[in-house]
Amino acid sequence: MSDFTSNFWSVYVAVITVVGIAACLLLLWFSGKAKAMTANDNTTGHVWDGDLREMNNPLPRWWVWLFVITIVFSAIYLAMYPGLGNSPGKLSWTQKGQYEAEMSKGEKDVAPLYAKFSGMSPEDMSKDPQAMAIGERVFMNNCAQCHGSDARGSKSFPNLTDGDWLHGGTPDKIKETIAKGRVGNMPPMAAAVGTPDDVKNVAHYVLSLSGSPHDSLRASLGKAKFGACAACHGMDGKGNPALGAPNLTDDIWLHGYGENAIVAIVNSGKVNQMPAQEGKLSDGQIQVLTSYVWGLSNGAKVAAR
Amino acid sequence: MNHPDSADKRIIPIVPQEATPSDADDMVMVSLYQAHKKIYPRSVSGLFARWRWGLVFLTQLVFYGLPWVEWGQRQAVLFDLEARRFYIFGLVLYPQDFIYLTGLLVISALSLFLFTAVAGRQWCGYACPQTVYTEIFLWIERKIEGDRSARMRLDSAPMSLKKFFTKSAKQVAWIAVALWTGFTFVGYFTPIHELGQSFLHVTMGPWETFWVFFYGFATYGNAGYMREQVCKYMCPYARFQSAMFDKDTLIVSYDEKRGEPRGARSRKADPKTLGLGSCIDCTLCVQVCPTGIDIRKGLQYECISCAACIDVCDDVMDKLNYPRGLIKYTTQNSVQQGWTRSQTLRHVLRPRVLIYTGILVAVSVAMLVSLALRTPLKVDVVRDRGVMARIVSGGMIENVYRLQVMNATEAEQQYKITVAGLPGLTLAADQEELAKVAATESRWVVIRVQLPYEAAPPGSHPIHFEIAAQDSPARVSEKSVFLVPR
């Protein structure tokens, strides 16, 4: 215990503990005998309230031995485990140590399971019911909070089943996304685009790219201003997975649909983050999870279903 | 009584009386921890002993036999704690059916109340495992060491080869019964055939090993050594059953008016001329008592109502050609007011008994009906917390739910899931129509529910899922909510 500058409290606690246990034994010893009448009626000779007599109904001796056993147990316990002041005990047991031992045992138990999958390709794994069952559980515990139980996401949380990938949909890229996380950064572009009216025109041009309902006059005016966006989203608006720039032509609207939503994003920008799972999940878990996520949009429906 | 200073306050003076000089001679140091004095109950036969043995056979036939009964492809009664499935003949219970255990415990408690109010500690005397196993262990002891006097002689004799072998034989028999009991107990939680195999090959798991030996040890210790100590010092029921007694409760009582003054006499002598009562003071009632009390001193808390003293006293009365019933089951009122048998019986139907009976019948019927009508399908609906609502193509608002579908039958089932509660509410079209759930398994099914845009105002709307089995009439309706964003 490094929180104290001297050993005083440790000794204090240890002494109280030992004295307490010794006092229990002494109490047991001294209260074992009493001066009492040996009258035939089995009373102690004490009479209360005129006629209320105290019977002598002694405790069975085996019960006393149970008490002694608890005292012996406490002595052994204090010798083996931390408890006597800051003594760590013979076993040097700690909560942290037990946690780590249990975790490493758990990891050792599941290691052969993940070892089986380590040589498998994502394609094969996504057809393996056991791997997919594990993948589903890992997904439900770690991913479903944002991406939804059905992996179809929500506003600002990408849908993982639609084949549209911000950062690339190959197993390697998915694995990278899970392990390292991603930060999608759309800077505020209002100044680069021009006047508020220009921003509106660009929004209609963006809507037109996917054939969504738009004002074609505004769209044609906005096309000229789209140059500011093309640096990331490309001249054709098909995006760039290397930068995490979304494809604007596929009618998938992660941050909201329609003129207002697009204008808001152009004006204010957006930073959207997928947290890294590397420290949280083991390599084996990430690998199985990668296959599960890859399988969601790559045809091979989970065989377990 | 009143203290002079506080005439207005009632005070009970708690002042020990001074020991008078004559008492002082009797004052000695005594140990307040009592050494255990072994009781050697004498064997007994008769009507109540037969009843007890009948119940020993009945309860133990069920306990030892039930795990071996097969039902279809599996053990008929198995509590699979690891899988959290409880198989009782045709029933498959989930942890969600915990209410039935509560019902069972309520029924047990009410039965205890009822039987105790009517006939005293019948449970203690005839059906309690402590009594039953003590009876079995005593029987073994008697077969190997002999009856009361032989056992007392053996215990006081110095160790000899014969004593050593006799004691060892008893220990071997006791340990065998105890281990078999522990093994049977674990057999309710682990398939007993497999357990038997692993027991023979010494490959039992750590918990199975622990429980076989721990339960065995408890049986051995309680039935072999602790015996009446359990009832006297450890058992809470023994103590609170007296709260259910009243003056019309059957208790084992000695007819003092008829028995006293007690005394030995020749079989031919007329007790009246000798000025004696019916009790010949043979002390057999004390010798047969498993808790070592003398019933002639009146009802005592140690009495477990086993009626061994009644059986043995009736035998003695028969031999003397006296009428039976010097010690008998009777009520306090009956003794005090000299009621006849039918008068006593009429007092069984008193409010306390009728109320206990009424509640017991009501709870039992409710439990049986609910078991009979139980749907072997359970569903929990969990609305996805991460996704509030989303807008999908076709101008639909979509909510996501996870349904845990629990199949409580022993065949694979297909369930059709439908949703209702709002106009236009549908399941997303591209989902599987039927959820397939393996026998006694449960499965999480992700369900997307869609509502046309502006079909309902923003806010939370109650909806419900209908889950219907395809091959059986089992169907369940579960509530949830559908959120429409602003």
Mind listing the pLDDT tens digit for each residue in A220-253? 999 888 988 999 999 999 999 988 899 999 888 8
* A286–chain B nearest CA distance, Å: 21
Query: Quick one: pLDDT at residue B454?
Result: 84
Report how far apart, in Å, the C-alpha atoms of B456 and of each of B389, B451, B460, B479 are. 13, 8, 10, 18
| Four-residue CA torsion sign, B262, B263, B269, B274 | negative
Residues A63, B432: C-beta atoms closer than 8 Å: no
CB < 8 Å to A37, chain B: 19, 23, 26-28
Nearest to B210 by CA among B240, B194, B190: B190
Average pLDDT over residues B172-178: 97
Inter-residue contact B314 to B46 (CB < 8 Å): yes
**Is the ipTM of this structure higher than 0.90?**
no
Which burial class, exposed, middle or buried, applies to B151 when counting CB atoms under 10 A from its CB (0-12, 13-18, 19+)?
buried
Q: Which of A32, A45, A49 sits opposite B33 (nearest CB)?
A: A32
Q: Which of A145, A150, A153 sits opposite B446 (nearest CB)?
A: A150
The larger pLDDT score, comparing residue A97 to residue B26, is at A97
The larger pLDDT score, comparing residue B2 to residue B386, is at B386
Query: Quick one: pLDDT at residue B455?
Result: 87
Residues B387, A47: C-beta atoms closer than 8 Å: no
CB < 8 Å to A145, chain B: 385-386
Inter-residue contact B9 to A13 (CB < 8 Å): no
CB < 8 Å to B25, chain A: none
The larger pLDDT score, comparing residue B9 to residue A216, is at A216
Average pLDDT over residues B101-105: 94
CB < 8 Å to A144, chain B: 384, 386
B436: enclosing H helix or E strand = strand B434-437
d(CA B285, CA B49): 14
Average pLDDT over residues A101-120: 89
Average pLDDT over residues B387-401: 84
Q: Which of A60, A140, A154 sits opposite B388 (nearest CB)?
A: A154
Query: Quick one: pLDDT at residue A53?
Result: 80
Q: Is the pLDDT of residue A301 over 80?
A: no
Residues A149, B402: C-beta atoms closer than 8 Å: yes
Q: B36 pLDDT band (50/70/90 cuts)?
A: confident
Residue of A150, A155, A160, A253 to mutate when probing chain B, most B C-beta within 10 A: A150
Residue of A154, A155, A257, A305 to mutate when probing chain B, most B C-beta within 10 A: A154
Query: Quick one: pLDDT at residue A291?
Result: 92
Query: Quick one: pLDDT at residue B5?
Result: 47
Q: Is the pLDDT of residue A38 over 70?
A: no
Q: B3 pLDDT band (50/70/90 cuts)?
A: very low
* A155–chain B nearest CA distance, Å: 7
Q: Using one digit for the tens of pLDDT, what is the confidence trace for A149-193?
A: 889 888 889 999 888 899 988 999 999 999 999 999 999 998 888
CB < 8 Å to A153, chain B: 387, 390
* A34–chain B nearest CA distance, Å: 5
Query: Quick one: pLDDT at residue B4?
Result: 47
Q: A299 pLDDT band (50/70/90 cuts)?
A: low
Residues A45, B13: C-beta atoms closer than 8 Å: no
Q: Is the pLDDT of residue B486 over 90?
A: no
CB < 8 Å to A154, chain B: 386-388, 390
Tokens of B114: 């009822």
d(CA B371, CA B97): 10
Mean model confidence pLDDT for chain A: 87
Q: Is the pLDDT of residue B45 over 90?
A: yes
Residues A62, B13: C-beta atoms closer than 8 Å: no
Residues A58, B34: C-beta atoms closer than 8 Å: yes
* A285–chain B nearest CA distance, Å: 21
Query: Quick one: pLDDT at residue B90?
Result: 87
Count CB-CB contacts under 10 A for residue B217. 14
**Whole-angstrom distance between the N-terminal and C-terminal Cα of chain A?**
54
Q: Using one digit for the tens of pLDDT, what is the confidence trace for B136-153?
A: 999 999 999 999 999 999
d(CA B175, CA B167): 12
Query: Quick one: pLDDT at residue B10?
Result: 62
Residues A61, B233: C-beta atoms closer than 8 Å: no
* B28–chain A nearest CA distance, Å: 5
Q: Using one digit for the tens of pLDDT, what is the confidence trace for A18-29?
A: 999 999 999 988
Q: What is the chain A residue with the closest CA to B403? A: A149
Q: Using one digit for the tens of pLDDT, what is the confidence trace for B291-327?
A: 999 999 988 889 999 999 999 999 999 999 999 999 9
Which burial class, exposed, middle or buried, applies to B166 when counting CB atoms under 10 A from its CB (0-12, 13-18, 19+)?
middle
Where is average pLDDT lowest: B47-51, B189-193, B280-284, B385-389? B385-389
Q: Of all residues in chain B, what percent carry a pLDDT higher than 90?
A: 65
Q: Is the pLDDT of residue B19 over 50?
A: no
Q: Is the pLDDT of residue A303 over 50?
A: no
Query: Quick one: pLDDT at residue B12?
Result: 58
Residues A33, B31: C-beta atoms closer than 8 Å: yes
Which residues 146-165 of chain B have a CB within 8 Å of chain A? none
Q: Of all residues in chain B, what percent carry a pLDDT higher than 70?
A: 94
Query: Quick one: pLDDT at residue B26?
Result: 61
Average pLDDT over residues B366-394: 88
Average pLDDT over residues B113-125: 92
Q: Which of B30, B36, B400 sits opposite A62 (nearest CB)?
A: B36
Q: Which of B23, B36, B390 sits opposite A37 (nearest CB)?
A: B23
pTM score, whole prediction: 0.81
CB < 8 Å to A62, chain B: 36, 229
Q: Is the pLDDT of residue A98 over 60?
A: yes
Q: Is the pLDDT of residue A215 over 80?
A: yes
The larger pLDDT score, comparing residue A69 to residue B275, is at A69
Give B232's DSSP letter: I
Chain A residues with at least one Cβ partner in B under 8 Å: 31-39, 45-49, 56, 58-64, 140, 144-150, 152-155, 157, 251, 257, 305
* A48–chain B nearest CA distance, Å: 6
